Amino acid sequence: GCIDVTIEFSGGAELLVGKQKIHKASLPSNRDWTIRSLLPWIAEHLMKTDRPELLIENGTVRPGILVLVNDTDWELLGELSYVIKPNDTITFISTLHGG
C-alpha cells in the first residue's frame, strides 16, 4: 500500500521542481513519514536542479521557505516532526526572490 499526499510549490519554489506546482505523490507505507523524512524523498524524486540546498539545508527546510500542512503553518505543528497522514497537502512557498 501507499500513502497518497499532495506536495505543492509556489512563490517561486516551483522552479526547483520543473515548474510543476502540484505533485501527487505515493509514499511507501512500510515506514512512518514525517516532514524530516519527506525532504530527502523530495530531493531524490521531485527536484530538477542539482542544487538541493535551495530547498533543503542542514536537514531542514531552508530559511525563507514557508511550509504549510493542509494550509496550516508547520511552525504550529512541530515542523520537521509532523507525522504525515494520508491525503495531507504539504505546501512549500518561497519568499526568496531575485529582483
Point out which residues bind another protein (CB under 8 A).
10-12, 63-64, 66, 68-73, 75-77, 88, 91, 93-99
Question: Toward another protein, which CB reaches closer, 25 or 68?
Answer: 68
The three cell numbers of residue 12 are 517561486
CB of 67 to another protein, least distance (A): 11
Output 42 or 92, the one with its CB closest to another protein: 92
The rounded distance, in Å, linking the Cα atoms of 26 and 15 is 22
Phi, psi of 18 (to 5 degrees): 65, 25
